[in-house]
Chain A
Amino acid sequence: MAVTEAAPRPVQRRGDVLFAGLARAAAVTILLALAGVAIFLTLEGAPAVTAPASARGGEDDIVLYVWPLPFGTLLAAVLAMLIATPLAFGVALVISHYAPRRTSRTIGYLIDLLAAVPSVVYSLWGIGYLGTRISGLYVWLEDNLGFLPFFAGPASTTGRTILTAGVVLAVMALPIIIAITREIFAQTPTLHQEAALALGATRWEMIRMTVLPCSRSGMVSASMLGLGRALGETMAVAMVLSATGVVSFNLISTSNPSTIAANIALQFGEASGLKVNVLIFSGLVLFVITFGVSLLGRAIAARGVKGDSR
Chain B
Amino acid sequence: MSTQTTSRRPETASRQDLPLTHPTLPRSAPALAGVVSLASAALVGLLAGWGPALTTLVTVLVFAVALPLWAYVVEGSRGAIDRLATTLVWTAFGIAMLPLVTLIYTVAAKGAPVLSAEFFTFSMRNVIGAGGGIYHAIMGTLLITLVATLISVPVGIMAAIYLVEYSGQSRLARTVTFLVDVMTGIPSIVAGLFAYALFVIIFGPGVRMGFGGSIALSVLMIPIVVRSAEEMLKLVPDELREASYALGVPKWRTILKVVLPTSLAGVITGVMLAVARVAGETAPLLIIAGDTD
Cα distance A28–B159 in the bound complex, in angstroms: 8
Chain A residue contacts of B279, Cβ below 8 A: 118
- B96 contacts A298, C-beta separation under 8 Å: no
- B286 contacts A265, C-beta separation under 8 Å: yes
- B197 contacts A27, C-beta separation under 8 Å: no
Q: Looking at the complex, which one of B88, B158, B193 makes contact with A25 (CB distance below 8 Å)?
A: B158
Chain A residue contacts of B287, Cβ below 8 A: 264-265, 268
Chain B residue contacts of A44, Cβ below 8 A: 193, 196-197, 200-201
- A272 contacts B155, C-beta separation under 8 Å: no
The answer to whether A125 and B102 touch (CB under 8 A), given A30-B179, A202-B82, A232-B190, is: yes
Taking the closest CB of chain A, its distance from the CB of B125, in whole angstroms, is: 20
Q: What 0/1 pattern do residues 151 to 178 of A give for CB contact below 8 A with B?
A: 0000000000000000100010011001
- B188 contacts A36, C-beta separation under 8 Å: no
Q: What 0/1 pattern do residues 59 to 84 of B give for CB contact below 8 A with A?
A: 00000000000000000001101101
Q: Which of A15-23, A51-59, A60-68, A141-149 contacts B (4 or more CB under 8 A)?
A: A15-23
Q: Which residue of the partner chain B has the closest CB to A170?
A: B99
Q: Looking at the complex, which one of B180, B183, B185, B191 makes contact with A293 (CB distance below 8 Å)?
A: B185
Count of interface residues, chain A, beta-carbon cutoff 8 Å: 85
Cα distance A22–B225 in the bound complex, in angstroms: 17
Chain A CB within 8 A of B203 CB: no
Cα distance A273–B204 in the bound complex, in angstroms: 11
- A117 contacts B189, C-beta separation under 8 Å: no
Chain A CB within 8 A of B293 CB: no
Q: Which of B41-49, B128-136, B250-258 contacts A (4 or more CB under 8 A)?
A: B250-258
- B283 contacts A265, C-beta separation under 8 Å: yes
Chain B CB within 8 A of A121 CB: yes
Q: Which of B96, B155, B223, B283 has the most CB of A within 10 A?
A: B96
- A23 contacts B161, C-beta separation under 8 Å: yes
Q: Looking at the complex, which one of B86, B166, B182 makes contact with A24 (CB distance below 8 Å)?
A: B166
Q: Looking at the complex, which one of A91, A119, A280, A283 makes contact with B280 (CB distance below 8 Å)?
A: A119
Q: List 22 A-B contacts (CB under 8 A).
A: A27-B167, A27-B172, A30-B222, A37-B186, A37-B219, A40-B194, A41-B197, A89-B92, A90-B92, A91-B96, A116-B273, A118-B280, A118-B281, A121-B107, A202-B79, A204-B86, A225-B184, A235-B282, A235-B283, A269-B286, A283-B190, A295-B182
New contact pairs (5) apart from A26-B162, A174-B96, A234-B189, CB-CB < 8 Å: A23-B161, A34-B183, A89-B92, A264-B283, A298-B178
